[in-house]
Structure 1
Amino acid sequence: MDDIETIMRTAPVIPVLVLDDPESAVAIGTALVKGGLRVLEVTLRTPRALEVMTAMTKIDGAIVGAGTVLDDAQLDQALDAGARFIVSPGLTKRLAQAASSRRACFLPGVANASDIMRGLDLGLNRFKFFPAEASGGLKALRALAGPFGDVRFCPTGGITLETAPEWLAEKAVLCVGGSWLVKPGMSTDEIEAAARKASELRA
């Protein structure tokens, strides 16, 4: 059985994907996995995102999860589509309880100390720091990590290949989310090469 800690430690970067075509999504996901990034976050931002997710679960070695999950109905849909983990931009009690009752690997978004304390009250201590750069960047994360020594983060939002190493050097950071890996017009070879670079950011 998966747990969110193991998933976060699988690779230094989790690609954050906005995809709407299941066929091309499989080619993209295969390229990312070949490049060394096995954990794939498919955001629920497109009409066919659930179909995309189901198609990508067939990729050998891929650990496919759902991002931009906003409520318990979307949580159920994502799990039914084969998601092995759930990522949310924020944290609500209702969503956290739904994830717990369904034994889902859950990575909710936090941006400040109050968010983290609410998560701790709900039995959570692994979070997405989002939006990372807009919420104060590395300076803010370091400040938050101080009083919450057992908490670990996946910063997402505004992080690039160039800035990722600095984030990953922090003890409180297990991985980062990256949307730079797949851009419109990129070939699968280019995506695989980008994934290989990202996978080597931290052993």
Structure 2
Amino acid sequence: MTTVQDDEQIADVSETIAATRILPVVVLEDAASAPALAAALTAGGLRAIEVTFRTAAAADAIRAMSERPDLLVGAGTVLTPAQVDEAADAGARFVVSPGFSPAVVRHCQQRGLPVFPGAATATEIQMALDAGLTTVKFFPAEQLGGVKMIKALAAPFRSVRFIPTGGVNTGNLADYLALSAVLAVGGTWMVAPALLAAGQWDEVTRLTAAAVEASRPSA
């Protein structure tokens, strides 16, 4: 087992996520749909995905999607060290959690997995910095004050990058991405449960492509 987190691996994961600046947050009920979903997202231009541990299908979905060399697959809603192991063993390349758990962060680092814990306050951001982390998930973004709150937190924490998630959509996407402190945004609109349940992969690709286009800096 790896016992020291690899800084180069962390940088590679962050760069891949930052390349398109959008991280789809997937709640998948049926792992059999994972290959089709992965194909739809990559066809739309995305190269990273967060598969949440909100369903029993998560590990199998991660395992299936991780077979694609053109897709960086991470595990989300990771709440315990045991889930870290499950995600890592399934092929997850990074971990996201909704809050800051010292046990989860420590175990990710022991396994050499980049981890983006949730941070909603200045105290939690300082905890992340103390743990050697410089990128956090800001969740739930809109409910916590959205763009204004990130601006306020970024002022004293200049080295920290944020991945705002929760309430981010096509209407406010540009406002978040205009902030230099934002690495990427987490979103669900292109992978809405109804689309996945109906197998509307063409629509997933269309929404993904539109999101990727909207995330690009204007000339």
**TM-score over 0.5 for the pair:** yes
Verify the 8 A CA contact 1:2 1:84 in the aligned structure 2.
no
Shift of residue 20, structure 1, vs aligned partner: 2.0
Verify the 8 A CA contact 1:12 1:198 in the aligned structure 2.
no
User: Counterpart of 1:181 in 2: which secondary structure?
Assistant: helix
Higher mean displacement: 122-131 or 20-29: 20-29
User: Counterpart of 1:118 in 2: which secondary structure?
Assistant: helix
Verify the 8 A CA contact 2:17 2:47 in the aligned structure 1.
no
TM-score with structure 2 setting the length: 0.89
Verify the 8 A CA contact 1:125 1:152 in the aligned structure 2.
yes
Does the alignment pair 1:199 with 2:212? yes
What is the aligned partner in structure 1 of residue 87 from structure 2?
78
TM-score with structure 1 setting the length: 0.96
What is the aligned partner in structure 2 of residue 139 from structure 1?
148
Shift of residue 125, structure 1, vs aligned partner: 0.9
User: Counterpart of 1:170 in 2: which secondary structure?
Assistant: coil
What is the aligned partner in structure 2 of residue 2 from structure 1?
9
Structure 1 gaps, min length 5:
none
Q: Percent identity?
A: 44
Q: Which has the higher helix share?
A: 2
Structure 2 gaps, min length 5:
1-7
Shift of residue 2, structure 1, vs aligned partner: 3.0
Which 4+ runs in 1 deviate beyond 6 A?
Answer: none
Partner amino acid for 2:145? G
Higher mean displacement: 181-190 or 166-175: 181-190
Shift of residue 10, structure 1, vs aligned partner: 2.6
CA RMSD of aligned residues (A): 1.3
Verify the 8 A CA contact 2:16 2:47 in the aligned structure 1.
no
Q: In the alignment, which of 31, 34, 42 is matched to residue 51 of structure 2?
A: 42
Partner amino acid for 1:114? T
Q: Deviations over 1:98-137 (max 9, x none)?
A: 1111110111110010000111111111111111011111
Q: How many residues were matched structurally?
A: 203
Q: 1:108 to 1:7 in 2, by over 3 A?
A: farther
